[in-house]
Structure 1
């Protein structure tokens, strides 16, 4: 199952959304920004991909129709490959 789930998240503390510059030292988000790096106020809209196993952790907001179709097909191909590998591993 391939679902698109809209989300509203808090703005990262390091964001420049208000035009006043980064909220903390630095100009970009650190890799793997922690949950405590998110401010309380909502303001960041995302559309996340969810599969049968749960959320995939990436945002497709702004994708064109063609890009969404490509993403869906990529996910499906990965699923087929997983099934093939499981089938080969079973004696």
Structure 2
């Protein structure tokens, strides 16, 4: 068992919370793509990014910038806010 100081625990907990939030955002992007009825390749091209880049983002091998998140939201006809707060459904895929 590790004995972490309060400061170390706070940093670790903060880091883990950030990773959990980012993972949830990636899952939300995948849901938006699935609900759009388009392929990942189609969404990537419409968002102005290379399909391989989208694949690497969704696989967690590359970070997604805010600009890319907005482009994906636009390509999936989704509000960026819905991606972040994870309130996606087929009926709400309009801005």
Q: What is the TM-score with the length of structure 2 in the denominator? A: 0.23
Q: What is the TM-score with the length of structure 1 in the denominator? A: 0.24
Larger radius of gyration: 1
Q: Greater strand share, 1 or 2?
A: 1
Q: Greater helix share, 1 or 2?
A: 2
